[in-house]
């Protein structure tokens, strides 16, 4: 597999030949940054962990140069952070038993403000080789510009495939904005209960962030637990940890559908829900 960035790398943790390793993929996570997969695509990782009939593949799109850094990492150069983040992501792939781990190594700025055709092409090649059943990526209501660039590129890359080769489902997941605001009927509920040990192992790998001043490990677990408890107001909890996703599948079934319009339709439904509850107030 030829990828455009010089620092890009494709790893196969169990040593399977590349073609076979990609072809066995059933669940695919496409995240902007190192550790995004372990936060937003946890459902897919857990669905495949320890299985031989299901395989999770991971794609991290940026190179990690813009990572926050403090304490022991405070004096690290961008080049040093790129290497640290690369090693951490590869370690997470080994722990999570990913079928493959692709690091595309794009600088965030190169994909953030304009659609980068090389980036979309890299995604399309990996999608064509892996043919996943479901993709987990960022949601279009996220507040991080690089995350928005990734979901837009994912939609474009999938649309570039023949309809018969497209995944059956595309989910937009929580990272830099949760999805509690969406109407309950629109939420995709992903039960990740009972896998707390694996989830912690995966996030603990990213010590450059934890020691560097960002406790994503605690925050992500707290969000999952809060999602489970605040999901239903009148029912006892039946799940201990929940990830919430936005259903994006219509965007890869209808090439004429606009990503912005799709997201704003859900925002309008939220507005209508608030307005209805405040009627007469």
- Which tens digits make up the pLDDT trace of 2-22? 999 999 999 999 999 999 999
Q: State the Cα–Cα distance between residues 125 and 54, nearest whole angstrom.
A: 21
How many CB atoms within 10 Å of residue 154? 27
State how beta strands 100-106 and 187-191 pair.
unpaired
| pTM summary value | 0.95
Say if CB 197 and CB 272 are below 8 A apart: no
Q: Specify the pLDDT at position 142.
A: 97
pLDDT digits (tens, 9 = 90+) for 22-43: 999 999 999 999 999 999 999 9
Q: Specify the pLDDT at position 67.
A: 81
Share of the chain above pLDDT 70, in %: 99
Q: Which residue ranges form the domains of the chain, and what is each CATH number?
A: 9-269 (3.40.50.10320)
How many CB atoms within 10 Å of residue 235? 7
pLDDT level of residue 237 (50, 70, 90 thresholds): confident
Q: Is the pLDDT of residue 251 over 90?
A: yes
pLDDT digits (tens, 9 = 90+) for 198-232: 999 999 999 998 887 789 999 999 999 999 999 98
pLDDT level of residue 114 (50, 70, 90 thresholds): low
Q: What number is the average pLDDT over the span 61-65?
A: 93
**Alpha helices per DSSP H over 205-258:** 207-210, 216-230, 249-253
The H or E element that residue 50 is part of is none
* Helix, strand, or coil (residue 10): strand
Q: State the Cα–Cα distance between residues 193 and 113, nearest whole angstrom.
A: 37
Q: Tokens 């022991």, residue?
A: 72
Q: At what angle do helices 78-95 and 196-204 cross, to 10 degrees?
A: 160
Q: State the Cα–Cα distance between residues 7 and 82, nearest whole angstrom.
A: 10
Say if CB 167 and CB 251 are below 8 A apart: no
Say if CB 138 and CB 173 are below 8 A apart: yes
Q: Specify the pLDDT at position 223.
A: 97
What's the start-to-end Cα distance of the chain, in Å? 60
pLDDT digits (tens, 9 = 90+) for 179-207: 999 999 999 999 999 877 999 999 999 99
Q: Is the pLDDT of residue 1 over 90?
A: no
User: Degrees (nearest 5) of the Cα angle 145, 149, 152?
Assistant: 135
Higher pLDDT, 75 or 137: 137
pLDDT digits (tens, 9 = 90+) for 115-165: 799 999 999 999 999 999 999 999 999 999 999 999 999 999 999 999 999
pLDDT level of residue 270 (50, 70, 90 thresholds): very high
């Amino acid at each position: 597999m030829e990828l455009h960035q010089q620092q890009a790398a494709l790893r196969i943790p169990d040593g399977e030949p590349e073609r076979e390793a990609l072809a066995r993929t059933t669940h695919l996570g496409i995240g902007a940054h190192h550790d995004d997969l372990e936060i937003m695509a946890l459902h897919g990782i857990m669905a495949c962990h320890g299985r031989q009939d299901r395989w999770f593949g991971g794609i991290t799109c940026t190179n990690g140069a813009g990572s926050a850094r403090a304490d022991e990492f405070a004096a690290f150069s961008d080049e040093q952070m790129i290497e640290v983040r690369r090693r951490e992501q590869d370690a997470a792939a080994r722990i999570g038993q990913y079928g493959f781990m692709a690091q595309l190594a794009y600088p965030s700025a190169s994909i953030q403000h304009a659609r980068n055709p090389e980036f979309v092409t890299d995604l399309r090649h990996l999608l064509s080789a892996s043919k996943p059943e479901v993709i987990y990526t960022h949601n279009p209501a996220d507040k991080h510009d690089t995350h928005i660039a990734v979901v837009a590129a994912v939609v474009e890359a999938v649309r570039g495939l023949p309809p018969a080769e497209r995944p059956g489902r595309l989910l937009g997941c929580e990272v830099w904005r949760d999805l509690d605001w969406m109407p309950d009927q629109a939420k995709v509920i992903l039960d990740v209960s009972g896998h707390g040990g694996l989830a912690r192992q995966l996030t603990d790998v990213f010590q450059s962030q934890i020691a560097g001043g960002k406790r994503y490990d605690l925050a992500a677990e707290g969000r999952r637990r809060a999602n489970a408890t605040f999901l239903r107001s009148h029912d006892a909890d039946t799940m201990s940890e929940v990830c919430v996703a936005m259903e994006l599948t219509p965007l890869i079934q209808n090439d004429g559908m606009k990503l912005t319009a799709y997201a704003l339709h859900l925002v309008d439904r939220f507005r209508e829900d608030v307005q209805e509850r405040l009627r007469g107030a």
